[in-house]
Structure 1
Amino acid sequence: MMEVGSWLWKVSYMLHVISNAAFFGIALVFTFGDSNILKEGTVKKYLKISSVFVFFTGATGILLLSILSMSGMDDLTNNPVGQSALVMILGYTVVLFVFSLALIYKGGEQKIYKKLFGIMFYSYLLIYLVRVYLTT
């Protein structure tokens, strides 16, 4: 049974990291992109694509957290890995909220899209910095 859990952990973690990196990259491009890339049609297309990455990030994050709690890590506040997981949950909540705002925004103003993607990019960046600080 332990081999299945280990395999599930590794595959989930790989999917989690890949989906995080893909979304982080999209947010980076739209945060620092010029006005040609921030047209509403282009942004809406990439929002649809990035919704897949946001979904996989959340789904694999829940799976990874479930595996952590099965292995006896019920109290996430007492060690750096658990604290890192709590920071990731907080950051994912912020990103999910802002991402939802970007999905429902119908104005098409480039400035707003740039700010929304900026919030998501800097949130992810802060989360990764805190995670590195906590786990090293």
Structure 2
Amino acid sequence: MMEVGSWLWKISYMLHVISNAAFFGISLVFTFGNSNLLNETTLKKYLKISFMFVMTTGATGILLLSILTMSGMDDLTSNPIGQSALFMILGYVVVLFVISLALIYKGGEERIYKKLFGIMFFSYLFVYIVRVYLTT
């Protein structure tokens, strides 16, 4: 049974990191991209792709957190790894809220999209800086 859990952990962690990196890269490009990149058709397409990465991140994050708590880590506030997991959940909720706003926004103003992608980029950046601080 431990082999299945280990295998599931590794696959979930790989998917989690890849989807996080892909979303972080897309949000970086659209935060600092020029106006040629920010036309509405390109934005809408990458916004849907970004949402898919965010949902993959959430699903694998839930799986990773459930595997982590199975090994006896019930109180997430008691150690730095649990605290960083809680901080990641907070950052994920912020990003999920902002990307939902971006998906339902029907205006064509590229500066609004740029600000929304900026909020998502900087919140993820802040979460990962805090995560590195807590776990090293």
CA distance in 2 between counterparts of 1:99 and 1:63 reads 22
Unaligned segments of structure 2, at least 5 residues: none
TM-score, normalised by the number of residues in structure 2: 0.99
Q: How does 1:1-136 map to 2 (within 5 A)?
A: 1-136=1-136
2:77 aligns to what SS in structure 1? helix
TM-score, normalised by the number of residues in structure 1: 0.99
1:49 Cα deviation from its structure 2 partner: 1.1
RMSD of aligned alpha carbons: 0.5
Q: Deviations over 1:74-119 (max 9, x none)?
A: 1000001000100000000000000000000011101100000000
Letter in 2 for 1:29: V
CA distance in 1 between counterparts of 2:96 and 2:50 reads 11
1:50 Cα deviation from its structure 2 partner: 1.3
Letter in 2 for 1:9: W
Q: Which moved more, 1:105-114 or 1:47-56?
A: 47-56
Unaligned segments of structure 1, at least 5 residues: none
Q: How many residues are paired up? A: 136
Letter in 1 for 2:130: V
